[in-house]
Amino acid sequence: MREFDGKVAVVTGGSLGIGRAVVERLAADGAEVVFCGVEDDAVRAAEEESRERGHRVTGVVADVTDAAAMRDLVALAVERHGGLDTLVTSAGVQRYGTVEDTSEELWDEVLSVNLKGVFLACRAAVPALRARGGGTIVTVSSVQAFASQRGVAAYTASKAAINGLTRAIALDHAADGIRANVVCPGSVETPMLRWAADLFRGQTPREEQIAEWGRAHPLGRVARAAEVAEVVAFLAGPRSSFVTGAEHRVDGGLLARNPAALPET
């Protein structure tokens, strides 16, 4: 049997980037996956391409900041597949600004999508996971939960809060047989990273800007979304049965490096 045969997963942000890679990874290993995104074309394309590979997936357009939408997303998985075993929260936005120049509207947008969206999805999923006798929650955060860049005040705050929320969920629901862990990627080749590269590259070609960011990682490149999805799958499955409340960096060694380098000898 494959690792996720007979298992049901819900993935938020599953039409693009890391979320889409997670949908593909879980479905390829046997899971029945219900995922959401906010752009109809992206959702339909992701669903069609996955089904062409023989995967059992369902994509819906849903806003993670809408409590009713998150309840409906979980209910769809339960009604269509008989229960829920795994929730992965991958929906997120990146915005830039210091606390001085970040507007309240931008702050609210980032915290609503990145943090409230995780809260609402988890709140909807916990009863379904409990009814199944337990399950797993994997939240997608960032290395910026630990070490920030300049000019990302709202984003960094949201990612640090996801880590704290995940720990709280792990403690509160351990007795329900629910494990919760958080994955913290470094730079990953996704539409969000390409958008950021276009924002900051000036006259530099996009691919060179991304490569420059990759060189900041000791492994010398940015991650592939599928590499992050592998860690998510491990945490979602039975091989990590004694792992909960933990933060897992998938950053190519980025945070292992002390920027105060010794002089060359």
Domain ranges of the chain: 8-186+222-249
Angstrom distance (rounded) from CA 135 to CA 132: 7
Which of the four pLDDT bands, split at 50, 70 and 90, describes residue 199? confident
Tell me whether residue 96 is one of the annotated catalytic residues. Answer: no
CATH homologous superfamily, domain 8-186+222-249? NAD(P)-binding Rossmann-like Domain (3.40.50.720)
- Dihedrals phi, psi of 57, to nearest 5 degrees: -130, 155
Beta bridge mates, 234: none
Compute the distance between CA of residue 139 and CA of residue 137 in angstroms, rounded to an integer. 7
pLDDT at 265 over 70: no
CA dihedral 92, 97, 103, 104 (to 10 degrees): 50
Is pLDDT at 250 greater than 80 in this prediction? yes
Residues composing the chain = 265
> Among the options 145, 155, 185, 214, which is catalytic?
155
pLDDT in tens, 80-128: 999 999 999 999 999 999 999 999 999 999 999 999 999 999 999 999 9
Give the mean pLDDT of the chain: 95
| CB 138, CB 87: distance < 8 Å | yes
Residue range 201-248, pLDDT digits in tens: 788 888 888 888 888 899 999 999 999 999 999 999 999 999 999 999
